[in-house]
Amino acid sequence: MTTTKQPEREYVLGTDEAELHRLSFQHRLWSETASQHWRLARIAPGMTVLDLGCGPGFATRDLAQLVGAMGRVIAIDASQRYIDFVNRTPAPPGGAPIDARLADAHDPGLAPGSIDAAYSRWVFTFLPEPARAVASVSRALKPDGTFTIHDYHQWEQIYWGPNSATVETVRRAVLSSYKAAGADTRIGQKLPALMRDAGLIVRDILPIQMIARPNDALWQWPRTYFASFLPRLVAGGHMTEAEMRAVHSEWDALERDPASFFYTPPQSVIIGVKPA
């Protein structure tokens, strides 16, 4: 009997080698912020934790170290390429075993009351049915379990300068691409109500807004995003080759200007608790 291999699910930002490297760098930049949120969510040694939309598993491995050898991390993603990467990457010494599964974030297939905590970062923006995903996680949580979601509150407020000539070009092209993919760039504004409707108590709603300067590591976050994503925008007809070259040229100039700055898109972290 011959089986047909299913095509790799293609994300808006891709799953190729360039995107893998970008995600690795991105996680290093945001790992301290993630750790702060995990402490607020009371994720502790011995727990079973879900990493929903784990991607290549960079946060997954940090969570495995946090919960330790007596804990467990379940990593869910819809990309076989990313799940394979998680499975072939060594687990951290002394860390929890990682159970990486190919599954839909809307229905991760977990038994009711089987996890102590769940975490998701920059995933819900791209989910067609976020309410269904929140409800699925809520059912899987044990009483007093926490669900922490970090996502965009209003992506379109991204900005850099001074006197930027290309910020509007990038904003228009990215939003066009995201709209075509059904993404919701303001999902952070809706998540508290979705958690409430799924039976969770919304314990924390935290804002995230950062400013980067050319000498900051965070300055390279948009730089790597442009390198990975702008060619996809050109290929998809959302931006021209000339516009892409103009963006890179302006960023080269901005890096030499001590007055330059970059505002990250406004984001939110929402922590919901399953009632005891």
Q: Read off the pLDDT of each residue in 87-107 and give the average, rounded to a whole number.
A: 93
What pLDDT band is residue 222 in, cutting at 50, 70 and 90?
very high
| Cα atoms in the 13 Å half-sphere on the side-chain side of 213 | 4
Choose the weakest-confidence range: 25-29, 157-161, 272-276. 25-29
What pLDDT band is residue 21 in, cutting at 50, 70 and 90?
confident
pTM more than 0.95: no
First vs last C-alpha separation in the chain: 50
Kind plus residue range of the DSSP H or E element containing 177: helix 167-180
Classify domain 17-273 by CATH number.
3.40.50.150
The answer to whether residues 228 and 125 touch, using CB atoms and an 8 Å cutoff, is no
Does residue 272 have a pLDDT over 80? yes
Does residue 2 have a pLDDT over 90? no
pLDDT of residue 18: 72
Classify residue 92 as exposed, middle or buried by CB count within 10 Å of its CB (0-12, 13-18, 19+). Answer: middle
